[in-house]
Amino acid sequence: VHTPYDLNRIINKGDGEVVLGYRRNGEDKTTSFKPVVKDIYTITSPDMKKRDVIPGNEEFESLIASGSVKIDGKLISSYSEFRKEIEKASGRDVQLDVENRHIAGRATVERRPMMGAELAFAGNFDMAFVQYGAAESFARSFTEAWDFLVMNIKGFGMLFRGKLDLQENLSGPIRMVMIAGDVLYYRGVADFILLMAKISIILMFMNLLPIPAVDGSHILFYLIEAVRGKPINDALMARIMTFGIVFLIVLGVLVIINDISMIPAVQNLFR
């Protein structure tokens, strides 16, 4: 494992317990855990860069209990109060004090489910760039694309089983443009190109679903015709395609409405 992406890729492939090996103070250690889905509250500001606060984080809750956390000068006495104040502060300038460290900036808050696990780094750490040869780079381009596709298929199934929130995880053109703009601005051209590749993989997967009017439905119809030995009735095909087109139009409208509702400025209008 060379990057956090590699770690998440391995975690999201497993359905059971994951054994993690690491080195601390020159000593090799192992620990095990089972990936879960849980809600994360993310605070972002120019000074903080990014900080994830996970419900149940004992260290952060102990800071709150000791009176070390303030929002706009207000002392926070419980995690539920912290969550409430941060959600109210979304989209406006706030002053966050943690252990007498003053952090000012415009805070945005995202409540999202997390599948798998996330590493937390304490203190400063150095970034290391790993370069691969042509052969290994070519091979990894296939394995990483495949693993990303499998991860999205699993996520798609979790949406239908209700393990992931549909509103939070359904993105349309507006949110895609916002995400792409943020990635290009904050992380650079290389990550932007990688994001475009991932979006292309997702669109390929969606296009292969057996939804009328997309390629996946044509593949299904060809298989049915091969089994039956004769073509499907033209009138029936026309009705199926009409239903598919109407379904896609309605879905597109709902997705755009959902995108608009997730914009912080729009959310603040209804608070």
Q: How far is CA 106 from CA 73, 95, 252, 262, in A?
A: 16, 9, 31, 17
Establish if 254 belongs to a structural domain.
Answer: yes
Q: Report the distance separating Cα 231 and Cα 220, nearest Å.
A: 12
Establish if 194 belongs to a structural domain.
Answer: no
Query: CA gyration radius for the chain?
Result: 23
**Total domain count, the chain:** 1
Establish if 241 belongs to a structural domain.
Answer: yes
Establish if 139 belongs to a structural domain.
Answer: no
Check residue 237 and give its pLDDT: 87
Establish if 243 belongs to a structural domain.
Answer: yes
**Tokens linked to 252:** 């597109």
Q: Report the distance separating Cα 121 and Cα 79, nearest Å.
A: 22
What does the buried/exposed string (b/e) look like for 243-270 if buried means 16 or more CB atoms within 10 Å of the residue's CB? ebeeeeeeeeeebeebbeebeeeeeeee
pLDDT in tens, the chain (271 residues): 655 656 666 666 555 677 777 777 778 888 776 665 555 555 554 444 445 455 555 566 666 766 677 777 788 777 777 777 777 766 666 677 766 555 555 555 554 444 444 444 444 445 566 778 889 889 988 988 888 888 888 878 877 887 777 777 778 888 888 888 888 887 788 889 988 998 898 888 889 888 888 888 889 989 998 998 888 888 888 898 899 899 999 989 998 998 888 777 777 776 6
Query: Which of 225, 226, 208, 227 is CA-nearest to residue 217?
Result: 208
Q: Report the distance separating Cα 13 and Cα 117, nearest Å.
A: 12
**Tokens linked to 37:** 């889905």
Establish if 238 belongs to a structural domain.
Answer: yes
Range of 227's domain? 208-269
Check residue 171 and give its pLDDT: 81
- For the whole prediction, is pTM greater than 0.75? no
Q: Report the distance separating Cα 165 and Cα 112, nearest Å.
A: 8
Query: Which of 5, 262, 34, 3 is CA-nearest to residue 151?
Result: 5
The amino acid occupying position 102 is: H
Query: Which of 70, 100, 98, 99 is CA-nearest to residue 85?
Result: 70
Alpha helices in 14-165 (DSSP H): 58-65, 79-89, 134-160
**Tokens linked to 160:** 């239908």
**How many CA atoms within 13 Å lie on the side-chain side of 1?**
15
Establish if 144 belongs to a structural domain.
Answer: no
Establish if 251 belongs to a structural domain.
Answer: yes
Q: Report the distance separating Cα 41 and Cα 83, nearest Å.
A: 8
